Amino acid sequence: MIHAAKELALTAARQAGQIARERFDRIEQINTKGSFGDVVTEVDHLIEELILYHIQNAFPSHQIHSEEIGDNGKSSEWLWLIDPLDGTNNYAIGLPVFAISITLMFQKEPVLGVVYEPMTDRMFVSSLLDGAYCNDKKIQVKKTMNFNKGNIGWIQGHKVQNDSRALYLRQHIDKTFKRMLRLWAPTLQWCMLAKGDLDGIVLYNSEGDDLYSGILMAREAGGVVLDFEGNSIVGMSEEPYIIACYPDHVEQLLSVVHEGLRSNS
């Protein structure tokens, strides 16, 4: 089952990536969605339709939730989460930082994650208990001797906006570490952590179809993924608050987060 799902996701992601590359910087339609300034393009819809076609033909009984269309109404232990264009805002302004994310969940836990970065032709794949890979090469979260001089990825949900707790925490992280990185393409930040190019991630209330491929990618690359209280992430959450890093850096990263949150109290 997982092997067949993996082959399907790889095929769909590559085909979707070709669409994204061909239409990059040549978008015909950009529409706003929601009340937080998010956008959607015709490319989002084209890619979504392609991925849904693959999944529905191969696994017609599976539940699917996709970024633009929503839920297919099926009831199943198997759930596909699709973000056809993670980083649409970047894509819309001609910034080549975006990815296609396909996740398969079983009983609300991620078992397969595929993230394809079309502009660099990097295919990230993780499956439960089988490691994480970039273009078939195993990747690993890295340990750093000077964690306080590391690079930390920040991810926040659209609805967070200028929430005061988030602002104080973000500023504290920015002052504490060498660099705080915001890509507006969360799956790529998770992949950077898994590949050893980021030293940690702090995620503030950002639930979505792009989250669980990233969590699985980090775990399978040897990272630890916990909530702000230091508990393991179990199942799915509507309001996740998460840190992720190499195991030896957990205590320090949690301490920084708690200090940042206290500065707003």
Do 124 and 216 share a structural domain?
Answer: no
pLDDT-above-70 percentage for the chain: 97
Shared domain check, 109 and 82: yes
How far, in Å, CA of 32 to CA of 36, rounded? 9
* Structural domain span for residue 207: 147-262
Encoding tokens for residue 126?
């993780």
Q: Which helix (H) or strand (E) holds 243?
A: strand 241-245
What CATH number should be reported for the domain holding residue 218?
A: 3.40.190.80
Longest dimension (CA), the chain: 52
pTM over 0.85: yes
172 pLDDT above the threshold of 90: yes
- Identify the residue whose tokens are 């929601």: 34
Structure token pair of residue 233: 């992430």
CB neighbours of 214 closer than 8 A, spacing ≥ 6? 101, 113, 115, 186, 187, 189, 190, 191
CA angle (48 as vertex; 119, 41 as ends), nearest 5: 70
Please give the pLDDT value at position 37: 59
Span 17-32, average pLDDT: 88
Domain boundary among 138, 158, 192: 138
Give me the number of domains the chain comprises.
2
120 with 157, same domain: the answer is no
Q: What tens digit of pLDDT does each residue of 203-240 get?
A: 999 988 899 999 999 999 999 999 999 999 999 998 99
Residues 242 and 119 in one domain: no
Average pLDDT of the segment spanning 90-113: 97
Judged against a pLDDT cut of 90, whether residue 162 lies above it is answered with: no
80 — pLDDT class (breaks 50, 70, 90)? very high
Write the CATH number for 80.
Answer: 3.30.540.10
pLDDT at position 19 = 97
Same domain, 108 and 174: no
49 and 111 fall within a common domain: yes
Same structural domain for residues 110 and 161?
no
Does the pLDDT of residue 40 top 90, yes or no? Answer: no
